Structure 1
């Protein structure tokens, strides 16, 4: 099977101007991936499926990842002369920058016909707020349909071109997306039939206050009848 680098080069030759970037994986598996732009994603996916040397005819897994905004500290080194006439000194300067957050969708592709894989494809959204759509690859690999719906449901990624994009695990009226890193679990546990442990403590906050029974008035002895 061709390496990800070779596939990247062939994609760039086949689709001039396309966004295709090699993303290395430093882990033990070393499954490096190809980050592709959403504008060319559908055409690239079809090429990977139909190319005679690749025949990536199966998508086994579609995964969502939430990458929140984070602060990155970069260190640069420079050499400055020593005012005292000694050897030059190396000075380190640290700068901080904010890397905007985004959502990512990862596809694992295999060839059943040629018995090789996986090839990892990645798509990224522009941010985590109002530009959260990527291209659906369901028209190329039908196995993506339910898995893209799951990513839509749990991460909030929109899939342009998906034939039936709707929630698959949560109900339609459910708010937010439970797999986002900043998701806050609701504490409305008053419906829990058998609360216990920490759930019981959360449920108690929603229980109605017990009715207060006013204290009974003290008994008053009946007046004694006067003797004749």
Structure 2
């Protein structure tokens, strides 16, 4: 019986430490607890990764949304060496051939919340990007019409940011006896 602590000899193969999932088009990858593959491109990599995935059969961009992690102490699963930022852009792509789904999570800095638009790769993202801009204030460089889509044009602020002051405007609901 060989000694488990002995160093490998010429005829033995050293066991390699298990490595994480392979990067997808240069973007590091994690797998969430449910087995969902998540690629983590940088803002600069985003369009190239989405274009390459489209060419591999991920023909539909199902969703573009964002998360504001302000004051969120819960740990996030990020690739080693990737720093968490306040905002996270989440892109969901699907391929109908197998079917397959992949999530892209892009860390977006609070100081400069700008990412490139996916409009040239997936034209259907036009309204989704406008909604993210409207609600979170993340700007999409190269978007053909980056204007508000849900809030009035003169609205100040971005309502889904966690530091947005709530309760500033009284709302009268149907059936309420009187304004509050």
TM bucket (normalised to shorter chain) is 0.7 to 0.9
> Which residue in 1 is equivalent to 2:145?
164
1:65/1:104 contact within 8 Å kept: yes
Shift in CA distance, 49/179, structure 1 to aligned 2, threshold 3 Å: same
Asked if the contact 2:130/2:147 (under 8 Å) is kept, the reply is: yes
Kindly report which structure 2 residues correspond to 1:133-172, keeping only aligned pairs within 5 A, or say none: 133-172=114-153
* Contact kept in structure 1, 2:61 and 2:122, CA below 8 Å: yes
User: How far apart, in 1, do the equivalents of 2:92 and 2:173 lie?
Assistant: 41
1:126-155: CA deviation from partner (whole Å, max 9, x where unpaired): 22xx31111211211112111111111111
The 5 Å alignment of 1:55-204 reads: 55-69=57-71, 101-112=85-96, 114-127=97-110, 130-189=111-170, 192=172, 196=176, 200=179, 203=180
Taking a change above 3 Å as real, the CA distance of residues 21 and 195 of structure 1, as seen in their structure-2 partners, is same
Q: Per-residue CA shift, 1:55-79, capped at 9, x if unaligned?
A: 1111111121111145689xxxxxx
- Distance in 2, matches of 1:111 and 1:176, equals 36
Which residue, 20, 43, 47 being the options, matches 2:48? 43
Count residues with an aligned counterpart: 154
Instruction: Classify 1:162/1:186 alpha carbon distance in 2 versus 1 (closer, same or farther; 3 Å).
Output: same
- Provide the rounded CA distance (Å) in 2 between the counterparts of 1:22 and 1:159: 23
Relative distance call for 1:102 and 1:140 in structure 2 (3 A) is: same
SS of residue matched to 1:59: strand
User: 1:136, 1:161 within 8 Å by CA — same for their partners in 2?
Assistant: yes
Q: Which has the larger radius of gyration?
A: 1
Q: TM-score with structure 1 length normalisation?
A: 0.59
Q: Residues 32 and 120 of structure 1 are in contact (CA less than 8 Å); yes or no, is this contact kept in structure 2?
A: yes
Q: Which has the higher strand share?
A: 1
Q: Could you tell me how far apart the structure 2 residues matched to 1:32 and 1:182 are?
A: 31
Of structures 1 and 2, the one scoring higher in RCO (CA 8 A, sep 6+) is 2
Shift of 1:101: 4.6
Taking a change above 3 Å as real, the CA distance of residues 49 and 166 of structure 1, as seen in their structure-2 partners, is: same
In structure 1, the gaps of 5 or more residues are: 13-19, 74-98, 204-228
> What do you get for the CA RMSD once the two structures are aligned?
2.8
